[in-house]
Amino acid sequence: MERKKLKGIAELKKLREELKKTYKPIKQWITVCSGTGCQAYGCKDVTKAFEEEIKAQNLQDEIGLRTTGCHGFCERGPIVVIHPEGAFYQKVQPKDAKEIITQTIINKKIIDRFLYVDPLTGKKITLEKEVPFYKKQMRLIFGMNGLIDPTKIEDYIAIGGYEALGKVLSSMKQKQVIEEVKKSGLRGRGGAGFPTGKKWEICKNAKGNPKYIICNCDEGDPGAYMDRSLLEGNPHLVIEGMIIGAYAIGASKGYIYVRAEYPLAVHNASIALKQAKEYGLLGKNILGFNFDFEIEISKGAGAFVSGEETALIAAIEGRPPEPRLRPPFPAESGLWGKPTNINNVETWANVPFIINKGAEWYSKIGTNGSKGTKIFSLVGKINNTGLVEVPMGMTLREIIYEIGGGIPGGKEFKAVQTGGPSGGCIPKQLLDLPIDFESLTQAGSMMGSGGMIVMDENTCMVDVARYFLDFLRGESCGKCTSCREGIQIMYEILVNICEGKGKPEDIELLKEIAEAVKDASLCGLGKTASNPVLSTLRYFMDEYKAHIYSKKCPAGVCKELIIYRIDKEKCTGCMVCLRSCSVNAISGEKQKPHEINIEKCIKCGSCFEVCRFNAVIIE
C-alpha cells in the first residue's frame, strides 16, 4: 500500500482508526507462526497451502490469513491459531490446510489430533491461552508477536503501535521521559541489569554531540534466541522504544547491531525501518516535531565478546571487537568518542509499555529490585522447549515444572544454568529460588540475557563446567592475560579431571584461578567466565571428589571413567545391541546373554541406547 508521511499526531490517530477497521475485517482469521523455528518446520509451505485453499473455496471475504512472529512454543511448530476463538493447533502440515478450513472454520469443529495434550493430565487443550506452557506466562512484550505480521507496519499501528511515541513528542519533555523510565524500575535485560533510566540520564547529561543510541542484538549465548525472536517478530516495538530513547537523550543517530547469523531478524528489521521512514516516524521532523532521528543496521560477525558494550562499539567502528578499560563508560564516551547509550532488544521493547501505561503500573510487576517481566529461553532436558515470558520473582520450580512441563522420561531434575555460558549452575535444593537479579547473583549465577538450560540426573556437572569453559576460551578476545590464560588453564584442569587424571590439589587451584580471572579481567566475559566452575564447585563438590578420588563419574558421562557391561539376568539375547556395535565389541548367541569386551569397547553408548530391556549398564 502507498504510505504517506504523517505530519502530526492527529494524522497518526486518524490512520490508526482507519487501520483498526481493516485489521480484523473478517469473521475469522488464521495466524501462522513464521519465526525462525517454525520456518525450520516448513511454515512457509503451510501458509501457501492455506492461501491456495482459501482461494480454491472462494473464501477471501470470509477468512483472513496472517503470518506472524514467533509464538514461543518452538518445538510445537508449525503453530496455527484460529481467531477470534484462539484455537491452538500444533505441528500443522500443508496437507492439513483443507481439513482445518472445512472442519474448524466452516463447520466449527475442533480437530483433536492437532491439539496439545498435557503430558501430566492427558487432557487435550483447545485454546492457546489454556495451554500450560502459556497459562502462567505474562506475555507483556512477547504476546504481540502472535498478533501481527512483522513485515507490515499497519498491523503494529492498528493495535496501538507508535502511540507512546506520539504521547512523548506531544506532551512530554526529555527529562519527564527519563524520570518515567527511572520510576518504572526498568533494568537492562542484556546481562548487567543496570538501571535503564539512570543510564539514559548519564548519556543525556554527558558533554559532546552528536549523541548515539545502539540496540544490542549480538545474542551469542548457546541456546538463547530471545532477542532474535523479538526483533524478527515485532521490530516496530523495538524501533519505537529506540526513537523514544533517542528523543529523551538527544540522539540523532541509532544503530541496531545484529548478528549476521540472524537473517530473518535483519530482513524484517530492514523492512520495518523503511516503512517507518515512509510514514515519517524516522527521519527529519518526526511527526511534524523538531526532532530528527535515523536508524541504521550494523551486522556483526558473530563474536560472543561483541555483546560487551565497548567491544560492540569497536565492531561498529570497523575495529576488532575488543573491550577497553572503563571508565570512561560508553554513556560518556562511546561510538567515535561521543556519548552513546546501549540497551539490548528486550530493554528497548519495554519502553513503549512504560510510556503508555505509566511507571506506576509497570513498577507493580515483579519484585522490589527487579521490575517487569523477563523473557527466558527454556532449553535442555525439559518437556516444553521454547521462549517464556514471566514476571520477575517467579520461582525456578514454577518455570521448569508448571510452564516447562518437567523433565522428560520422568527423570530427576539436577540443575539449571541461567545467564548463558558464563552463568552459574543452580541445584535442585534451590528450585524455589525466585528469579530476579539479586537472588540469582547470591546463588552464584546471574540473569544474563535470559538463557536457561535445564539438566537432568544423567548430567555430569564437572563435564558441564568443562563444556562451557571450552566455549568461553574460544570466544575470549585474548586481550586480558587473566581471561586468555586463566580460562585455558581452568579448562585443561577440568579435562584432566574428566579423564581421570585429576589431583586433590586441583580443587583449590581451580578456585584460585577462577577468582583471579574474575577480579583481573576487563569485560563481562572474563568477569563472569568463572561462574560455571565456582557454582559447580559450590553445589556439586561430591562429583568433583568422585572424579578425583574414586576415578568415577557418578552420572556415567565421562568416557574414561566408565565401563559398559551387560546384566546377564536381564539380557534376552535379542541381538539388537550386537548389531548396533560398530567395533564388534559385543559377542553372544541369539536368545542367550551377551557380553561386552571392555578392551574393544569405544564407549560410544549405542548399545545402551538401543537396549529395550535395560540390560546394558553403565558403571
For the cut 70, the answer to whether the pLDDT of residue 147 exceeds it is: yes
With 80 as the cut, is the pLDDT of residue 24 above it? Answer: no
CB 405 within 8 A of CB 454: no
Residue 289: per-residue pLDDT = 96
Which part of the chain has CATH 3.10.20.600?
373-456
Q: How confident is the model at residue 222 (pLDDT cuts 50, 70, 90)?
A: confident
DSSP, collapsed to helix, strand or coil, labels residue 568 as coil
CATH topology of domain 373-456: Ubiquitin-like (UB roll) (3.10.20)
**Which one-letter DSSP state was computed for residue 424?**
P
Write down the mean pLDDT value for the chain. 93
Phi, psi of 603 (to 5 degrees): 60, 40
Stated pTM of the model: 0.92
- Mean pLDDT, residues 59-68 taken together: 92
Segments of the chain assigned to CATH 1.20.1440.230: 461-549
Within 13 Å and on the Cβ side, how many CA atoms surround 589? 1
Spatial distance between the Cα atoms of 28 and 450, rounded to a whole number of angstroms:
36
Dihedral angle sign, alpha carbons of residues 139, 141, 144, 148: negative
The CATH number of domain 153-363, selected from 1.10.3210.10, 3.40.50.11540, 3.30.365.10, 3.30.70.360:
3.40.50.11540
pLDDT band per the 50, 70, 90 thresholds, residue 550? very high
Give CA–CA dist 343/242, Å, rounded: 9
| Fold annotation for 461-549 | de novo design (two linked rop proteins) (1.20.1440)
The CATH number of the structural domain formed by 563-618 is 3.30.70.20
Q: With a cut of 80, say whether residue 456 has pLDDT above it.
A: yes
Pick from 458, 456, 499: which is nearest to 605 by CA? 458
State the span(s) of the chain assigned CATH 3.30.70.20.
563-618
As a whole number of angstroms, the distance between CA 123 and CA 116 comes to 8
Q: What pLDDT score does 524 carry?
A: 79
- Cβ 490 vs Cβ 552: under 8 Å: no
Amino acid 55: pLDDT: 94
Q: In this structure, how many other beta carbons lie within 10 angstroms of the beta carbon of residue 609?
A: 10
Residue 353: in which H helix or E strand, if any? Answer: helix 345-357
Closest CA to 221 of 254, 186, 191: 191
Residue 337 DSSP one-character state? G
Q: Where in the chain is the domain with CATH 3.40.30.10?
A: 27-135
- Answer whether 69's CB lies under 8 Å from 349's CB: no
What is the mean pLDDT of the segment spanning 108-126?
91
Provide the pLDDT confidence category of residue 219 given band limits of 50, 70 and 90: confident
Share of residues in the chain with pLDDT > 90 (%): 82
Pick the CATH number of 27-135 from 3.90.1300.10, 3.10.450.40, 3.90.1150.10, 3.40.30.10: 3.40.30.10
**Residue 25 banded pLDDT, cuts 50, 70, 90:** low
pLDDT band at 422 (very low <50, low <70, confident <90, very high): confident
Read off the pLDDT of residues 150-201 as tens digits, 9 standing for 90 and up: 999 999 999 999 999 999 999 999 999 999 999 999 999 887 789 999 999 9
Locate CATH 3.40.50.11540 in the chain: 153-363
pLDDT tens track for 243-278: 999 999 999 999 999 988 999 999 999 999 999 999
Q: Averaged over 202-206, what is the pLDDT?
A: 97
pLDDT digits (tens, 9 = 90+) for 508-544: 999 999 999 998 888 878 888 899 999 999 999 999 9
- Residue 283's pLDDT is 96
What is the tens place of the pLDDT at every residue in 291-328?
A: 999 999 999 887 777 788 999 999 999 998 888 888 89
> ∠ at Cα 29 (3, 82), nearest 5°?
135
What value does the mean pLDDT take over residues 63-79?
94
- Predicted local confidence at residue 400, as pLDDT: 96
For 593-617, write each residue's pLDDT tens digit: 999 999 899 988 899 989 999 999 9
